[in-house]
Copies of this chain bind each other. A is one copy, B any other.
Amino acid sequence: MTNDLSRLSINQETIKQWSLPELAEGCVKAGIDKVGLWRAPVQEYGVERTAQLLADSGLSVTSLCRGGFLTDLDPAGRSRALDDNRAALDEAAGLSTDTLVLVSGGLPAGDKDLYGARERIADALGELAPYAAERGVRLAIEPLHPMFASDRCVVSTLSQALDLAERFPADQVGVVVDTYHLWWDDQAPAQIARAGAAGRIHSFQLADWITPLPAGVLVGRGQLGSGCVDFRTFRAAVEATGFDGPIEVEIFNEDLWARDGSEVLAEVAARYLEHAC
């Protein structure tokens, strides 16, 4: 493991109080040359303008969040979701990132069939994978913590994500290994090995697990080292497969968002070196 910042990528949501120019300037000052981006702020700033800003700053984009939400039962809703994912792939290509993160979608209202929902995701991937491949972008299925299974993502484990991804070529569909979502799972080490052996770890993301969880549980992630995730062991498992890609820190936390962005970035870098290197 390297003990420098050369592998570190800052997901912009971690410091969402910053505009894109502030993010670019802050990362350059801190000696960090990679960022993960989200569609909404990029669309607001403009895709081409964002690409130019990052190129001018010497920054590369490790992932774009997010596509997905592919579980709709209604044909019109499903068609809209596919259109939106094609647009996300175009945006990813415009930013020269090779990875679009997919949050697959939850159960439609009144539906109780997790298996059926995952099959609809597989069908949608079949439509999207060739489109992604033409643009040089990989679809990265992100398993989300089981507490999101009903309303956000019916893919709750790395095993389920790989069962979906393995129906497609590894350079088209892979997975996200995010410590926040997987830390509790005793099957995660074996599934990381499975993913890495097939070249399907398309993104590796870090956030810590802290409690109590806030209402809605979405923005309860912890700064690295503030919770109970063993980052070094996770990183060792991922790197044992040969993975040497970016390590992206993506933390949703109201307290971090209320602070000075430069201070948060410095803390993330220091915690990364202390806990993940």
A residues whose Cβ falls under 8 Å from a Cβ of B: 107, 111-115, 145-147, 149-151, 156-157, 160, 183-186, 209-217, 227-230
Contact = CB atoms under 8 A, between A and B. Distances in A.
A212 B218 CA distance: 10
B145 A147 contact: yes
Number of copies of this chain that the complex holds: 2
B217 A147 contact: yes
A147 B146 CA distance: 7
Q: Is the interface of A mostly helix, strand, loop or mixed?
A: loop
Given A150-B228, A212-B217, A214-B215, 10 more contacts: A112-B230, A145-B146, A146-B184, A149-B209, A150-B227, A151-B212, A213-B216, A213-B217, A215-B215, A217-B217
Contacts of A183: 149
Contact of A211 (B111, B145, B150, B212): B150
A182 to B, nearest CB: 10
Nearest to A181: B146
A224 to B, nearest CB: 12
A212 B106 CA distance: 13
Contacts of A210: 150
Contact of A112 (B107, B111, B146, B229): B229
